[in-house]
Amino acid sequence: RAVYRMCFATAAFFFLFTLFMICVRSSRDPRAAIQNGFWFFKFLILVAITVGAFYIPEGSFSNIWFYFGVVGSFLFTLIQLVLLIDFAHCWNQRWLCKAEECDSRAWYAGLFFFTLLFYTLSIAAVTLLFIYYTHPGTCYEGKVFIGLNLTLCFCVSIVAVLPKVQEAQPNSGLLQASVITLYTMFVTWLALSSVPDQKCNPHLLTHFGNGTILAGPDGYETHWWDAPNIVGLIVFILCTLFIGLRSSDHRQVNSLMQTEEGQSAPEIMQQRQVVAECRGQAFDNEQDGVTYSYSFFHFCLVLASLHIMMTLTNWYRPGETRKLISTWTAVWVKICASWAGLLLYLWTLVAPLLLPNRDF
């Protein structure tokens, strides 16, 4: 319950800034100064909200906030998939450019190696999921989930190399499909690790003895911190780092188009930055336009707070007792997230064919 209230405080804090930073276009907006400064006062506000969260009457607060966490974690899982798609596209495009510039087959060999590696890991994951998360004569849901996701991953891999798709997107290939396949198997693993059936979930262990906290009628409990949660936290950290690296790469956002008669806005900005550095002064590179959406950035942090809350509590739904009740809610949310992610990736493949006049 303490995790629920602390994450409520952080989510509420970032949601306030999501609303406050709407339509901030440049650093000339007075609100931009709050975004980039006043850290002491923002820390005090966060502390005040956190303290206040512990004074909220229990009632149905935790149960209602649980559903907010479910939705937020679902959306953040999709954001992670979008980041992986972007990462795979950038990776494939850069290595193909290196291969053309250097006229070397080593870059093609590298792409082939990692593609084969990711597909090999995916096949190994499917095998292990069938071994540890299914049982002869039972665990039909797990078998359907694994088999269906494997089939969908195979289908999107075929679509990624179709001639029409390759013609519309020359950079599309099996590397991106292999990354998405591996991530889908990872989300499937997370879903199966939440199944509330001891026969179908090795993470549910039976405990006997004094002081045991039971969860459910069968007398088993879930580990609040197990391998799926650890790997999920690592993926969360890597995606957060990629957001920072990716945003630092986009320095031409909202800049003017370069012309032959004059210098482009990025070049002028770069010259001003050099002059400021020589004078030992700080340089504001967002006077003509912010490099990222402040409001959407804070909204992503809201979803991240909810995702961390569900991860730390292992999708524990607070009840009237101290029992850790494992439900099918977490299973279906994660499985639906994997399906939605595959559909999203499929859309990125076929969208240029269906809407040729749009820029993707």
Question: How many angstroms separate the CA atoms of 193 and 129, rounded?
Answer: 10
**Whole-angstrom distance between the N-terminal and C-terminal Cα of the chain?**
44
The pLDDT of residue 78? 86
pLDDT of residue 144: 92
The pTM for the full model equals: 0.76
CA angle at 148 for the pair 147 and 152, rounded to the nearest 5°: 120
CB 203 within 8 A of CB 193: yes
Give residues with Cβ within 8 angstroms of 264, minimum separation 6: 255, 256, 257, 258
Per-residue pLDDT of the chain (360 residues; tens, 9 = 90+): 788 888 899 999 999 988 988 887 776 777 778 877 788 888 999 999 999 888 888 777 878 888 898 899 889 888 888 888 888 888 888 888 888 887 778 888 888 999 999 999 999 999 999 988 888 888 888 899 999 999 999 999 999 988 888 888 877 788 889 999 999 999 999 888 888 777 777 776 543 333 344 444 444 444 455 677 677 778 777 776 766 565 544 443 333 222 333 334 444 445 554 444 455 555 455 566 666 677 888 888 898 889 888 887 777 766 544 455 556 788 888 899 899 989 989 998 888 888 777 665
DSSP 322: S
**What is the pLDDT at residue 139?**
82
Question: Which tokens is 258 given?
Answer: 């370069």
CA dihedral over 108, 109, 113, 119, signed as positive or negative: positive
Sorted by where each begins, the domain ranges of the chain are 2-249+291-354
